[in-house]
Structure 1
């Protein structure tokens, strides 16, 4: 199933916000080793960022 670009972008930005908010308040996360809560947030952000960049790349081709 393919998401619409605006939906993909909103999910990407929501993942960024969630990751950023968590990193501001978490005392356990480190850049090279996120905490148990931060790890899935980082993974979701990375996955959505990859999808967004792929979308941009296919749009320019």
Structure 2
């Protein structure tokens, strides 16, 4: 078994985090808890990848 799929998931998760953070720092339309039309898909992607990463960590410990 290789670590490649987990490594790829982690890289995608961190890239999504970075993209969302960069957007929030420069967007004047985003408000706390309410993303703009550009930020919303970034937040959704981050949320999905974060859930997948947390699930991966849980299954790894079982």
The TM-score normalised by the length of structure 2 is 0.92
Counterpart-to-counterpart distance in 2, 1:28 and 1:44: 19
Q: Deviations over 1:9-60 (max 9, x none)?
A: 0000000000000000000101221000000000000000000000000000
Please show how residues 1-61 of structure 1 align to structure 2 within 5 Å: 4-61=5-62
Q: CA RMSD in A?
A: 1.0
Unaligned runs of 5+ in 2: none
Compare 29-38 and 11-20 and name the one that shifted more. 29-38
Which of structure 1's runs of 4+ aligned residues deviate more than 3 A?
Answer: none
Counterpart-to-counterpart distance in 2, 1:5 and 1:24: 29
State the aligned residue count: 59
**Does the residue aligned with 1:39 lie in a helix, a strand or coil?**
helix
Unaligned runs of 5+ in 1: none
Counterpart-to-counterpart distance in 1, 2:38 and 2:18: 14
Compare 17-26 and 3-12 and name the one that shifted more. 3-12
